[in-house]
Amino acid sequence: MPTEMSATVIDSVIFRNVFSTGPMRRVFSDANRVQKYLDFEAALARAEARLGVIPQDAADEIVRHCRVAEIDFAKLETETVRIGYPVLPVVEQIVALCRDGLGEWCHWGATTQDVTDSATVLQIREALTLIEADIDRIGATLADLARKYRDTPMAGRSNLQQAVPITFGYKVATLLAGFERHRQRLSQLRERVLVGEFGGAAGTLASLGGRGLEVQAVLMKELRLAAPVIAWHTMRDTIAEVGCCLGLLAGTCGKFALDVKLSMQTEVAEIFEPFHSGRGSSSTMPQKRNPISSVYITALNSVVRQQVAALLDAMVEDHERSSGPWEIEWIVLPEIFCLTAGALAHTLTVLDGLQIDEKKMRENLDATNGLIVSEAVMMELGRYLGRQRAHDVVYDFCRQALATGRRLSDLLAEDREIATHIDRAGLARLCDPANYLGEAGAMVDRVLETRTKQG
């Protein structure tokens, strides 16, 4: 039996590695969060000592005790419930650990939100590194698949019906292009998001007697964060931006998962999740092979989307320090990151072992006896009959093909008017889906080239 208490899927002994990942949970763990508080306090002490704002021996003593191993978490829990926030109880423990009252210089000129927000940004920096690594792995796998299946024909689908032929490489490359855009977004937002907070009570740094901006600049260098041009205590757009980007990312994973689920249907059977003994089996129907990772991705994407909405609600904050919306971030931001990490992990699992049935793709292309390339016939006949009349003629022959089960090319070849313009061999070429792939291959090449240029 598990010895720890866990109530959510993120922390559940049973579900935690289904809905999230260990590395991302560690980023948003209590231990790492508190260590980030301590990192802030240590950096602040070093910065203020360097500028002569606090004594050097006080800074040395404070820094010496800014280690999470020295924090009493049982006491921290009790005091957080009593006070309402964890930062002051952490500071109180640092003060108590320091000799000769030197700890009284800890947290000099700072406020709880400075510590909390800067710690959150430090966690975001770590978390983005994990997210970007997963995107890179997904991109590399998709690029390999796009290259390998560049010219493998399959049915493109519109409204869940066969539309015109595409290639599997083209289908994969459209997904790759989306992940490349996500990689760009996350790279671009770093400049805006990886900004620390140090403003004091209402953001003006009044308590430091004219030295506030100096301290802020040195503090941010210590933390390797950009310095804010002005306090952002109640301007939460950058935090919301991170959440929105993760929502977009999870949405792309969800689109991929939906296509996999549809492609695994018995009547389609073109691509499948990796097979492992027992995975996806039904408790009552031995023949079934259910999608598993794709199902979880669908659920994860849905919840991330809802949590992003809550993060947008958290932007509506009152005056210079908020009365409630800020705490929404504490709840949903870790969940957004953890659940997105889970969606990415499942996406990687599917892609790394994706099973592709090229023979079935071809069978499905031929399933309508040439109707999938009726557009090709219409466009060619349009040269002789005009586009609208060609459309009407081909439309009628498509109805006949559906009613009789005969091949479209055979019906067309029997028509005297059409035969005067296109012979049977020409019609056979027009009705071969492999001959109507348009610029699919060239577009795959462009996506791959763009990825190479971006490095």
Domains and CATH numbers, the chain: 21-105 (1.10.275.10), 112-197+232-354 (1.20.200.10), 371-430 (1.10.40.30)
Continuous segment of H or E residues that includes residue 431: none
Mean pLDDT confidence for 336-347: 98
| Per-residue pLDDT tens over the stretch 184-193 | 999 999 999 9
- Give me the count of residues in the chain: 455
Across the range 67-93, mean pLDDT stands at: 97
SS3 (DSSP) at 167:
strand
Distances (CA, A) of 390 to 238, 374, 428, 433, 454: 55, 10, 17, 19, 45
Determine the distance from the C-alpha atom of residue 134 to the mean position of all C-alpha atoms in its chain, rounded to a whole number.
9
Indicate if the pLDDT at residue 324 is higher than 90: no
pLDDT at 225: 98
Provide the pLDDT for residue 431. 87
Residue-level pLDDT at 282: 58
Least confident stretch, 26-30, 326-330, 417-421: 417-421
Identify the weakest region by mean pLDDT among 35-44, 80-89, 369-378. Answer: 369-378
Structure tokens belonging to residue 153: 């024909």
- Which region, left, alpha or beta, applies to residue 416 given φ > 0 means left and ψ of -120 to 50 means alpha? alpha
Q: What is the rounded distance in angstroms from the CA atom of residue 200 to the CA atom of residue 213?
A: 11
Name which of 162, 34, 161 is nearest 88 in CA terms: 34
Number of H helices, E strands in the chain: 19, 4
Return the sign of the alpha-carbon dihedral for residues 225, 226, 230, 235. negative
* Average of per-residue pLDDT values in the chain: 94
Tell me whether residue 439 is exposed, middle or buried, using C-beta atoms within 10 angstroms of its C-beta: 0 to 12, 13 to 18, 19 or more: exposed
Q: Is residue 292 predicted with pLDDT exceeding 80?
A: yes
pLDDT of residue 99: 96
What's the pLDDT at 280? 57
The whole-angstrom separation of Cα 345 and Cα 253 is: 10
Arithmetic mean of pLDDT, 6-13: 89
Confidence of residue 281 (pLDDT cuts 50, 70, 90): low
Tokens of 289: 């092979």
Which uninterrupted H or E stretch holds 340? helix 325-352
- Mind listing the pLDDT tens digit for each residue in 136-172? 999 999 999 999 999 999 999 999 999 999 999 999 9
Choosing from 282, 389, 399, 446, the catalytic residue is 282
For the cut 80, the answer to whether the pLDDT of residue 277 exceeds it is no
Token code pair at residue 276: 């492992």
pLDDT in tens, 122-132: 999 999 999 99
* 2 band by pLDDT with thresholds 50, 70 and 90: low
Q: Which of 321, 362, 406, 429 is catalytic?
A: 321
Residue 282 known to be catalytic: yes
Q: Of residues 451 and 144, which shows the higher confidence score? A: 144
- The Cα 441–Cα 168 span in angstroms is 10
Percent of the chain whose pLDDT exceeds 90: 82
